[in-house]
Amino acid sequence: MQRGRDAVVTVAGRAVGAAGPKGEAIAQAALRLFLRDGYERTSVDAIAAEAGVSKRTIYNRYTDKENLFRSVLQDMFTEMMAVFRRIADAHLTDVTDVEASLTAFLRETVVTLTMAVDRIALMRLILTEAPYFPALLRQERGSEGMHATLARALGRLAEEGKLTISDPDEASEHLFALTLGRANERSMFGGGKLSDAEIDRIVTGGVRVFLCAYGPPGRGADQALE
C-alpha cells in the first residue's frame, strides 16, 4: 500500500475494514471521534475503547489510523453523494420549468445536506486537515463530486435548449457560489442553523441571478428578476 498522507485507500481495503459487526462498530466510533476531536487528537486507543474492540483488531483491519481515517471519510462522502444524486435526479430530470426545478433542487439540497450536522462537521474537518490530506479536497471536487454531478445536469439542460451554457463546469461553480456556497458559509461560520426564510431567500435569489446569465435564449434579465 502506498504510504504517506496523500495515499489513496482502495475499495477492497474499505470493504474489508467495514465488514461485519466489529468493522461497523469501528467505522462508526472512528467517525464520531474524528468529527468531534479531529485527526491528530483522536487516538487508536480511544477508537478501540469507543468501539469496544482491541487495538489489534483495528490494526488488523485498517493497518493504521491514517488508513482508517480515509476509509470512514470515503464512506461518509459516498453516502452523501448518493443522497445528492437522488435529489438531482428527482428535480433535474424531465424539467419543464427551469427556475422552479433548480429552486426545488437547491432548497432540498440545502435542507438535507448543507444543514446536516454531520456534513457541517465533515466539511470543517476536511478544511482543517486539507493541508495534510490534499486528496480530500480533490475528491470533493473530483469526477464524482457535487460540482461535477451538477455540471452534468446543467449540461443536459443546455443541450435541451433550457439553459444557455458553453461551459457547464463554470456554470456549476457559479450556481454553487450563489446558493450552496452562501448557505455553507452561513451555516459553518455564521454560528447557527439557517431559518426556512433565510434558505428561501438565498436559494431563490441565487437561482434568479444565475438565470440572468444562463437562462434560455430570449429570457432577459428583467424577466429573470421579476
Q: pLDDT value at position 4?
A: 37
Report, at the CATH architecture level, how domain 92-226 is classified. Answer: Orthogonal Bundle (1.10)
| Terminal Cα-to-Cα distance of the chain (whole angstroms) | 57
Q: pLDDT value at position 50?
A: 95
Cα of 80 vs its chain's centroid, Å? 6
Specify the DSSP class assigned to residue 194.
P
Higher pLDDT residue, 124 or 92?
92
189 pLDDT tier (thresholds 50, 70, 90): low
- Spatial distance between the Cα atoms of 111 and 104, rounded to a whole number of angstroms: 11
Domain ranges of the chain: 1-75, 92-226
139 pLDDT tier (thresholds 50, 70, 90): low
Share the mean pLDDT of the chain. 82
* CATH 3.40.50.300 for the 1-75 domain, yes or no: no
**Grid cell in block for residue 17:** 475494514
Q: Is residue 217 pLDDT above 80, yes or no?
A: no
How would you label 14-34 residue by residue, b for 16+ Cβ within 10 Å and e otherwise?
beebbeeebbebbbebbbbbb
Specify the DSSP class assigned to residue 130.
T
Q: pLDDT value at position 141?
A: 54
Q: Are 138 and 10 in contact (CB under 8 A)?
A: no
Q: Is residue 85 pLDDT above 90, yes or no?
A: yes
Q: pLDDT value at position 10?
A: 32
Q: Is residue 137 pLDDT above 70, yes or no?
A: no
What is the per-residue DSSP string for 3-35? Answer: -STT----HHHHHHHH-HHHHHHHHHHHHHHHH
Q: Is residue 111 pLDDT above 70, yes or no?
A: yes
